Structure formats: C-alpha cells, structure tokens
Structure 1
Amino acid sequence: MNKKLSFGLSFALMTALLSACGGGNDGGSASQTPPASGSNSSATESASAPAAEPSEPVTLSFMHFKSDVTDGIAKIIEQFEAENPNITVDVQPVKYDDYGTLLKTKLASGDIVDVFTLNAGSTTKLYHDGGYLEDLTDLEFMKNFDPGVLAEQATDGRNYIMPLNAGPIAVFYNKKIFADLGLDIPTTYDALMESAQKIKEAGKTPFALGWKDGWTLGMWLSRDFPSNTVLIDGQTDFFDKLETGQAKFADNPAAHTVISHALDLFKFGNKDQLGVDYNGAVDLFAREEAAMMYMGTWPLGDIRKKNPELYESGMGYFPYPFSNDPSLNKLEFNPDASLAVNSNSENKEAAFKFLAFMASKAGGDAWVENTNTLSYVKGASADIAPAVTELQPYFDNGHLYNSQVFITTTIDWNTQFTQYVQKVFFNKATPEDIIKDLDDWVAKNHK
C-alpha cells in the first residue's frame, strides 16, 4: 500500500487505545540538519534481555521538547527513579521552537545528551544519517508496540526511535456557546467558517489563537497544507518532487488554499493573535472567552485546573474539517514525541533501562495520566478526559489519518511558510508574493 495514502496508523490499535475513554485523570517537526558524527552503533546484542541495573550510580541526561507538560514529566521521572534508585535523570525541558537548534548545538559541541526526543520522519532520518542514533530495533522492550506503528516510524527499515505518545489534533469547542447559538458540529470547512461568523456576530471570539509561538501556527499550517495538497488536489508526489527540485509551491493550488484559510482564522481569532502565546490561548478558552481552539490534547490538564466545570462537562472535541468533502475530513491522529538514545552516550545501559520503563504498561499509564496524551504502549490506559470521548466514533469506524506521512521532504518549508504568511495578515505581501518568496527560498537553500 502507498504509504502516503495508508494514513499511517493501525485502526485496530487506535480503537483499542480509546476503548476505555471516559472521565479524566490528572494529568510537532523541526527539520534541523544535525552535525556530522561517527557511524551508528547497534544495540542488537542486548536485544534478547532487558537492560541490567547499572552497578554504579548514573546520571542520565534527558532533553525533551515537551515543555508544555514539564510538571507531568517530572512526576513520571520521579516514578522511574523510585524504581531505579541507581539512576538519576537530569531532565532538560526545552521550548519546542528552540529545541532543534539547541540539540544541534549540543551535539556539535560534544555536549552529550544521553536520551532525547525526536519527531518521526525526516527529522529522525537526518539525525540517523548524522550518526547520532542508536539502533533500537531488536531490543526486547520494542515488542511492546504495534508492528504497524514501528514500521511507520522506521528509517531505512530499522527503528532508531521508540514511539512514546500520540494524539488527535482537533478543535475544542465550548458546548454552551454552541448550544446558545444553535450551532451544529461543523463537518465541512465552509460550515466551520459559518459557525465562526455567527459566533463573532454574537459578540464572542470564535477561535483562541496563540500565534506568538510560531509552532502553534506552524502546527496548523503543516496539516492543512499537506491535507489539501494530497487529498484535495491529488498531488501525492508533491513533496517528493519538492525534494528534488521538480515541483514548486506556485504550481500547487493548496498553497493558495492554505493562505486563504489562514486569513479566515486570523479574521475570526482573538485580538493580537501574534502577541498571544500558547498559554494565553489556553487561558482564553479556559475562561470561556473563545468558542473554539485548534489543538492537541496537551492543554487538558491546565483547563482542568483553571475551569473544572468546563473540563468535566462544558467542552467537546471535533475533527478539523480542512475541506468541503465530509468523507475526507477524518480525525487527524499524529505521533508526537519519540525517544532516541545517543549513539555516543557512555550511559547506554541506563538509557535502555529508561526506555524500557517508558515502554512498560506502568510507564505508558504514567505518561497518559500526567501528560493527557495517548501512549503507544500496548495495554496502556486511554483515560484522558471527557471531551475526548466525542472522538470515539472516529476510532471505532477507522476514520483516522495522519497528514504528516504525506510530507516526505527534508526541506524545512513549514518554518518559512509560517513566517511568510504573517506578512499577508498585515497586508505587507500578497499570497502571490509569499509563494514566490517560498519557491525562491527553496531554490536558494536546497540546490
């Protein structure tokens, strides 16, 4: 099956993951080219047995880009350290927008990070090609993941990252605002905009946008654009051709579509969208000052703290309808963070112990409970939050897809597109201008 059209995930696995969804518990890709390093080393020799307990105290460095759930990860680390008293984890949370640059800098300077998070796909391939990733394929704990998930995250047929978590990227909505205005859940893009218009006419803010943080705008753009490119315009090989210089954004109708959609969201967003960050957007939604928020499940813990009533019964969650074809507007379900072991680490034994814990049911349950995202670990809890139960029919019926598998290029087009599209918001450039600028940037930097 064509990987681009397979939608990447095992429907059976995802159905099992969400089969227990009910009440809540307490609870991105940067294409940075890594510096060159030595050759990859293999972990195959230790595949048949779990990692042994280090005989001497070890401090394991762990850098991650999940800074939005720093407190939750701290609780997970506490649990791991309690079970592994000889291992202390030096946790280094980094804001996502800064993560790729900092990781690249650390590796180039010889500042060894033992374990770090990566996004699956082109980012992993770049660090693998740079010689920085330990081969995890045959390690015993990798058996705790569905083979289909491992196949999707493989690089050249081998697994250099361990699946950690995944989740839907969809639209949170305020049930009371929708009910008061007689709004149905929109299943097409035009219906979404019609609902936004009615919300705005009622004197309320349709969308909570925190676009001061570039990743929030980039997260939406990097899903709307490939979805429209492949599923609407039928350009299944656009990103392949972009990589080899055979395609241009100017020849892709989806480039104009996504700019038009971005202008719509900007029109219906809160004031000062580019001055409000992720946390500010979550606050707007939690205070019920905005009717909708496009996001993963990450803010659920904060919303529960700030507005328990909204969390328990006042909010819902629906797939973002990127097109006017309801049959295509399935639920976006993406891998989030995966774990890698530095091939140059001197603490591989402890690193494998750390990954083995994260791959266990206890580790998977801890991740779900403390970060409000789903774990890929077989049998892990799926008890995230009441709002997530509204997505159950999409899992039951296999109406899932992963737009990120469409993006086969290593070119960091998304960062540039995110920066350029902001010019259109303030009439500093036309859509044609920024599309030309994007093609010029690709031609200049990727010959």
Structure 2
Amino acid sequence: MNKRLSLTLTLLLLTTILEACGSGSTTTSDPAPSAGAASTKAPAKAAEPVTITFMHFKSDVTDGIQKIVDQFEKQNPTIKVEVQPVKYDDYYTLLKTKMASGDVIDIFTLNAGSQTKLFADGGYLMDISDQPFMKNFEPNVIKEQATDGKNYLMPVNSSPIAVFYNKKIFKDLNLEIPKTYDALMAAAKKIKDSGKTAFALGWKDAWTMKMWEERDFPSNTGLIANQPDFFSKIEKGTAKFADNPAVKTTIEHVKQLYDYGNKDQLGVDYNGAVDLFAKGDAAMMYMGTWPLADLEKKNPDLYNNNLGYFPYPFSNDEAKNKLEFNPDASLAIGSKSTHKEAALKFLAYMGSKEGGDAWVTNTKLLSYVKGTNTNIAPAINDLKPYIDAGKIYNSQIYVANTSIDWSTQFSQNLQKFIFNKMTPDEIVKDMDAWVEKNHK
C-alpha cells in the first residue's frame, strides 16, 4: 500500500473514529435597511416549487435515507425530492438504460472508479469540483475520487469491510479472533462441528459474492502474489490469469466459505443472510457496516452486547492482514438536469455536518464529512486498535483504473466450481480466453 494512500485513510479514519469537532454551515442574510430609510429593493419573488429525482443503490437503508430527505425538505419547502431506491444488482443496468433513453435523473449514486469514468466520458455528469461544499471533506479523499482531474462525485459514506461475529458463540466455543486465513477456517470448522453455521452467506444477490471476491482476489494478487499491476495489465491484455497464483487461492477460498456456510447459499439473498446472523443461527458474516440498522432492530441484545467486528484475514501473512476500508456511495448530478440549483442545495445539505450526522444517525453508516458523529454501533469500537496502529488498506487501489469487467465472468466460474462443473485449471483457461477476447 503506498504511503499517500495510507496517510489518506489514516487521516480520514482518525477524523471520524476520534469524532473530531466540526462546525455546521451558516448562512448570512442581507443587512436590514437603516431606520427611516426607504427600501429601493423590489419585493423578493417567491421561489417556484420544484421536484428533483434522486436515484440510489442503498436500498438496504431506504427508510433511513427517506428520513434524511424529509429533513432536507423541511428546511427547503420549495424543493420536493422524489427518491428512487434500486437494488445494487440492478442499479447500473437501469441507470445506463435511463441515461441512454434520455430519462433525466437529477441526482444519483455512483461508485468511484470505472463506473464514474464511464458516465463522465459519456458527458452525463456535472463537474462539481469548485462547489463550496467540497471543502467539507479531506483534500486527499476528494483527489482520489477525481476522474481525469475533475470531481464529478461528492463522497457520502465510507465503510470498513470486515467480519461481523457473534461474541457469545465465540466465547462458548473458546474461540479467539482469527488473525490468519487458516485460523479463520479452523474457527469455522469448530463452529460447524458444534452444530452451528459458521458463515451467513446471501449469494443469491450476486453483489454479495462479488464484494468478497473483488477483495479476496485483489488483496492476494497485490499483497501476496506481489502483482499490484496485474489488473491494469489485464485491461491491456498483457497479463494472464495462468501467471497469477492468487487465482487458485481465491478459488480454494470460495469453496471453503461455501462448505462452512448456510444451506442454499445461492438461494438465500442478502436480507436472508442478515436474518440468519441476527437470529444467532450463524456465527460470522463478511460485510460492510450496512446491516447494522437491521441488526439493531432484529436483535437489540446481539447488537448492544454480543456483536463483534474483525478484519477479514485474506492470507496467512498476519502482517498483511489489515483492515479493509473503502469509499462506498458517492453523489453525482446529471449534466442534463434542468434543476441544477435545487440539486446543488441537496448536495450542499448532504455535505454539511448536519447532513453528515443525519446520514450516520439514520443509516448507521459512516460519513466522509469532516467532524461527523461516528457512534453508529458498539461493534465499530472493535476496529479502533487497527485504526490507531495504522493497520488499514484499500484493496480497490489495484482495480481502480480498470474498466474491463473480469469479476462477473470470474464469479460465474466460481459458482460452477462450487457445484463441480469446472476445475481450477478450467477456470484459469476460461479467464485467459475471456481476457483475450475482451481486452482493449
């Protein structure tokens, strides 16, 4: 991990976890005319009511986002926000379809990287680089989310990606937090031998499996196989899966997760996996902070007393198994929006300390806004030692500048392997054939 990225994430996390103080935005009204002076101003014209659309892929926290929108509308009575939540698996397909058909969306979520570049190159995004609210974020965060030197995104939430665990189950089985991959599997075996499920898996929703795969594979590629430029070479067609030992590592890992997971992993969706974990039927769940609001609602005792969180140990090199920390949803304004002023007011609210705190409170997710509240769940405190020691990294730096969709093909092949329809060697051969066909 390069020093600049490490410093960026450390500054960001210290800003949030240590709850640095921040000041809210203020507005200044026109000075009142002096006593006895006649006003020369014409009466202000009432603002015309306007409706803006807001499409997002955070459908798992739909209710929380609606509460934030309600707060914004209360402060801006002439602006109505029409919220359109979409499941992540369907989101980009729908967004691209709408854009191509001329269906204008005023505000929408994007992931930094290849998706943002795709829409920026198509001329669909408004440049917000010089907007005042962008100063409410760490400069390095803004810089890292830039596309070709311009900022089309405003960061919204940040998230560790780690393993939730049931402390009671671990205590009953005398298990310690695993620091290596083999230790994780040893713990999983002991949990399964006790009659419980080790991992809650909701792989019916493709994104949940891809989320794991797109971190296990790049982590082992960049940090263990020492091929940090592998994915950029894949983009150019100058690398082969056959020359990357991390491919078979991830293939082995997916089968082990499957074997220690709940029944019908490919028939259970994200919500089903959260339910299994909330009920205490599964001891661990690899996930970002997104299910916290549901866990608090479904099992307050687990949430408050027995919910733990530890970094996913992707390898057997304990020194390299650091805490994964990634940017998640960011906001963009459509370049073809006819309500840019209203859309900018919404982003300004979301980028203020008030809006950031509202995000944390209502979604149980961390905000990138400087000085926002970080008290989202007791389990988050488990990560503080890793933050304080600087043991953090971002696996997505290895895939940030690539747009070729290797992960969908790889995910399909992993599923075939699970059901003994492909061997590891056949997956490697198929991926190299796919790359040869699809690289630029």
Q: Which TM-score band applies after superposition, normalised by the shorter structure?
A: over 0.9
1:445 pairs with 2:434: no
* Mapping for residues 44-443 of structure 1, pairs under 5 Å: 55-407=47-399, 408-443=401-436
Contact map agreement 1:141 1:359 (CA 8 A) in 2: yes
Partner of 1:27: none
Query: How far apart, CA to CA, are the structure 2 residues paired with 1:220 and 1:9?
Result: 23
Partner of 1:25: none
Contact map agreement 1:9 1:401 (CA 8 A) in 2: no
Instruction: For residue 2 of structure 1, report the CA deviation from its aligned partner.
Output: 5.0
Contact map agreement 1:7 1:403 (CA 8 A) in 2: no
1:14 aligned partner, one-letter code: L
Contact map agreement 2:108 2:332 (CA 8 A) in 1: yes
Contact map agreement 1:317 1:390 (CA 8 A) in 2: yes
- Alpha-carbon RMSD: 1.7
1:350–1:321 Cα change, 3 Å:
same
Query: How far apart, CA to CA, are the structure 1 residues paired with 2:228 and 2:354?
Result: 40
Contact map agreement 1:239 1:406 (CA 8 A) in 2: yes
Partner of 1:39: none
Contact map agreement 2:104 2:337 (CA 8 A) in 1: yes
Query: How far apart, CA to CA, are the structure 2 residues paired with 1:95 and 1:8?
Result: 33
Instruction: For residue 55 of structure 1, report the CA deviation from its aligned partner.
Output: 2.2
Contact map agreement 1:9 1:402 (CA 8 A) in 2: no
1:416 aligned partner, one-letter code: Q
Partner of 2:14: 15
Contact map agreement 1:8 1:152 (CA 8 A) in 2: no
SS at match of 2:320: coil
Instruction: For residue 385 of structure 1, report the CA deviation from its aligned partner.
Output: 0.2
Instruction: For residue 54 of structure 1, report the CA deviation from its aligned partner.
Output: 8.9
SS at match of 1:404: helix
SS at match of 2:331: strand
Instruction: For residue 82 of structure 1, report the CA deviation from its aligned partner.
Output: 0.5
Deviation string, structure 1 residues 213-247 (Cα, Å, up to 9, x no partner): 00000000000010000000110111111111101
Partner of 2:24: none
The normalised TM-score by structure 1 is 0.91
1:246 aligned partner, one-letter code: T
Instruction: For residue 315 of structure 1, report the CA deviation from its aligned partner.
Output: 1.2
Query: How far apart, CA to CA, are the structure 2 residues paired with 1:13 and 1:336?
Result: 14
Query: How far apart, CA to CA, are the structure 1 residues paired with 2:182 and 2:369?
Result: 38
Query: How far apart, CA to CA, are the structure 2 residues paired with 1:249 and 1:100?
Result: 27
1:325 aligned partner, one-letter code: D
Query: How far apart, CA to CA, are the structure 1 residues paired with 2:108 and 2:15?
Result: 28
SS at match of 1:10: helix
SS at match of 1:9: helix
1:147 aligned partner, one-letter code: P
Contact map agreement 1:7 1:405 (CA 8 A) in 2: no
SS at match of 1:316: strand
Query: How far apart, CA to CA, are the structure 1 residues paired with 2:418 and 2:316?
Result: 24
Query: How far apart, CA to CA, are the structure 1 residues paired with 2:46 and 2:97?
Result: 29
Instruction: For residue 10 of structure 1, report the CA deviation from its aligned partner.
Output: 3.1
2:229 aligned partner, one-letter code: D
Instruction: For residue 16 of structure 1, report the CA deviation from its aligned partner.
Output: 2.2
Contact map agreement 2:234 2:439 (CA 8 A) in 1: no
1:18 aligned partner, one-letter code: I
Query: How far apart, CA to CA, are the structure 2 residues paired with 1:9 and 1:237?
Result: 21
Instruction: For residue 371 of structure 1, report the CA deviation from its aligned partner.
Output: 1.1
Query: How far apart, CA to CA, are the structure 2 residues paired with 1:185 and 1:350?
Result: 48
Contact map agreement 1:8 1:405 (CA 8 A) in 2: no
Deviation string, structure 1 residues 386-433 (Cα, Å, up to 9, x no partner): 011100111111111111111021111111111111000110111111
SS at match of 1:99: helix
Partner of 2:31: none
SS at match of 1:318: strand
Query: How far apart, CA to CA, are the structure 1 residues paired with 2:427 and 2:58?
Result: 31
Contact map agreement 1:208 1:291 (CA 8 A) in 2: yes
Instruction: For residue 437 of structure 1, report the CA deviation from its aligned partner.
Output: 1.7
Deviation string, structure 1 residues 268-309 (Cα, Å, up to 9, x no partner): 000110000000000000000000000011111111111110
Instruction: For residue 13 of structure 1, report the CA deviation from its aligned partner.
Output: 2.3
Query: How far apart, CA to CA, are the structure 2 residues paired with 1:385 and 1:64?
Result: 24
1:7–1:264 Cα change, 3 Å:
farther
- Listed as ranges, the gaps of 5+ residues in structure 2 are 21-27, 29-44
Percent of pairs identical after alignment? 66
Partner of 1:33: none
2:64 aligned partner, one-letter code: G
Query: How far apart, CA to CA, are the structure 2 residues paired with 1:353 and 1:436?
Result: 51
Instruction: For residue 443 of structure 1, report the CA deviation from its aligned partner.
Output: 2.1
Instruction: For residue 212 of structure 1, report the CA deviation from its aligned partner.
Output: 0.5
SS at match of 1:327: helix
Query: How far apart, CA to CA, are the structure 1 residues paired with 2:363 and 2:414?
Result: 31
Contact map agreement 2:19 2:371 (CA 8 A) in 1: no
SS at match of 2:126: coil
